[in-house]
Structure formats: C-alpha cells, structure tokens
Amino acid sequence: MNDANSPSHGDHQLTDKGYVPIYTTAVVEQPWERYTATDHEVWATLYARQQELLVGRASDEFLTAQQAMGMSPDRIPRFDDLNPVLRAATGWEIVGVEGLLPELTFFEHLANRRFPVTWWIRTPEQLDYLAEPDLFHDLFGHVPLLMNPVFGDYMAAYGRGGVKAHAIGPEALVNLTRLYWYTVEFGLIRQKDGLRIYGSGIVSSKGESIHCLESDAPNRIGFDLERIMRTRYRIDSYQKTYFVIDSFEQLMDATRPDFTPIYARLASLESIPAGEVLATDTVYHRGTGEGWLNDGDV
Ligand SMILES: [Fe+2]
C-alpha cells in the first residue's frame, strides 16, 4: 500500500492487541479502486492458505457461513457486494473504518448490527503477524459467522452489553472484554467429530489454527461464563487456554441474563492467570505449558 492509501491515526491505547493506534471514529467508504495489485495478491495468498488449513479445523458453522457469503478468494471483496447477502441473512451489515475504534463507538455499532471492518490490508512482509486488525482479520475472520442467526444475535447482545458495561465502569469492561477474547476471537467449539475453531483471531492466523487444536501446550477447557470473565489473557503469544463451547445456543443462553450482578460479584474475586487450571474446570486437555512465557500474564 502506498503512502496516499495509508490510514491516519491519532492516539495510542492499550487494547487486546497491545498498544495500537486508535483511529478516527468515522465510518468510511471502502476505497476499493485504490487497492493495488499487491493488496489483492495479499488477500488471495492469505485466503488460499487459510482455506486449505481450515478444512477439518474450522467449525461446520464457520465453513457453511463462509460458503453462503461467497467472498471472492482471488481479489478483495467489495463491502457493497457482501452487504445485501448479509442483510438478507441476519440483518447485519459491514461498515468500513480506518482501524480500531474507541470502545463505546465499537459497542454501539455491534448493538445496531453494524460490524466495523478495517478497509486496509497488511503488506506482503506482514503475512504472518501484525499487531492490529486489518482487512483480512476483520473480513475473513469475523464477517462469515455474522451470517449465522444465533451467532449474529450473540454479537448484537455483546454490543448492548458493552454499552452497559462502559457505563458501569472499567472493571466491568475488563470482565466483558475477556468474554469477547475467549469466544469471538479465540473460541473453540465441540463437534461430534472433535474440537473445531470458530474464533476470528484463530481462523485468520496460520500458526494459531494449528497450535490451538494440535499442540499439547495449551489448556482446552469447557466454557464457563464467570470463569472466563475472571481469566487474564496473553496479547503477545498464542493463548495458554482455549475455552470450548458445545453450541452457539449455549453461548447465547449464557449471555442472556443481565451481567450487572455478575460484575458486582467478580469485583471481590482475584483474576485467574491465563494458564491456570481450576479443580472446577471441565478439562478436555490439560496443557503441558511447553514454550510458555513465565513473566506473569497481562
Ligand atoms: Fe478481531
């Protein structure tokens, strides 16, 4: 991407991706004509690579939704082409943004079934990692599951919960952000034939798509709302623990009640380190911890 296409940002904020720039709050038109041949190549390369990896690893729901959506694999899709499909399925739509939004703005979009998608894509030198979300992470990783009615409802409910938590205070927001992290970004789901991926942070990452299912290092533990809300997470390495849901209905049901009394209860409890396993956990796999950084969890 050349300089003229580079998004501008103002501030930096510590977020779930580390210190990253916070961009303007405005919604922007996707400047599709400005994508270079290199931008389209990056999309096509990442798409093909992940698609191959995700067979037998991504959840049936993700793969079905992805197919129903019909994104072009060989060039960057136009948001305007995807939106009618998405709207007809679940009432969701994509809005273009420069990058990460302030929390409250982000929650308000979700509550109104608008998913903010970063319009710019990483460079060929950043294929394997970049600190902040780009078009590939947002569009390939997050958008397909918005075609799923139950998951779509969960995302909107999360947005409404975010607006509420923002008003309650920073500790409530920390609790809620952990839920997003361990479900929307890094969630696993149990299928008849084994554990599968649905989290966007995983499906958009080559290394973590393999690590989360096949490595002995991380814990794989059954979903438990309050347990997750107490659990710290790593922002600079693969996850030490993945939480496993049985279905999207389970996720929706668990998050239906008002969280206000839960936040009050959790305020007096200690946070749980990212790699810890509790006696009360449903353990699918106890991690060996191989390769973990032991510098305390953020
Ligand atoms: Fe994300």
pLDDT one-digit tens code per residue, 247-281: 999 999 999 999 999 999 999 999 999 999 999 99
- Dihedrals phi, psi of 205, to nearest 5 degrees: -125, 125
Ligand 1 centroid distance, CA of 194 (Å): 24
Ligand 1 centroid distance, CA of 42 (Å): 18
Ligand 1 centroid distance, CA of 199 (Å): 9
Would you state the pLDDT for residue 129?
A: 82
Poorest-confidence range of 11-25, 70-84, 201-215?
11-25
Ligand 1 centroid distance, CA of 130 (Å): 12
Ligand 1 centroid distance, CA of 201 (Å): 6
Residue 34 in tokens: 């400005």
Ligand 1 centroid distance, CA of 279 (Å): 31
- Dihedrals phi, psi of 52, to nearest 5 degrees: -65, -45
| Averaged pLDDT of the chain | 92
Check whether 16 has a pLDDT greater than 60: no
* Contact of 245 with 195, CB cutoff 8 Å: no
Mean predicted confidence (pLDDT) in 203-232: 97
Please name the residues in contact with 218: beta carbons below 8 A apart, sequence gap of 6 or more. 211, 212, 238, 239, 240, 241, 242, 285, 287
Ligand 1 centroid distance, CA of 184 (Å): 8
Mean predicted confidence (pLDDT) in 91-115: 95
Ligand 1 centroid distance, CA of 176 (Å): 15
* Contact of 166 with 107, CB cutoff 8 Å: yes
Mean predicted confidence (pLDDT) in 175-191: 97
Ligand 1 centroid distance, CA of 189 (Å): 18
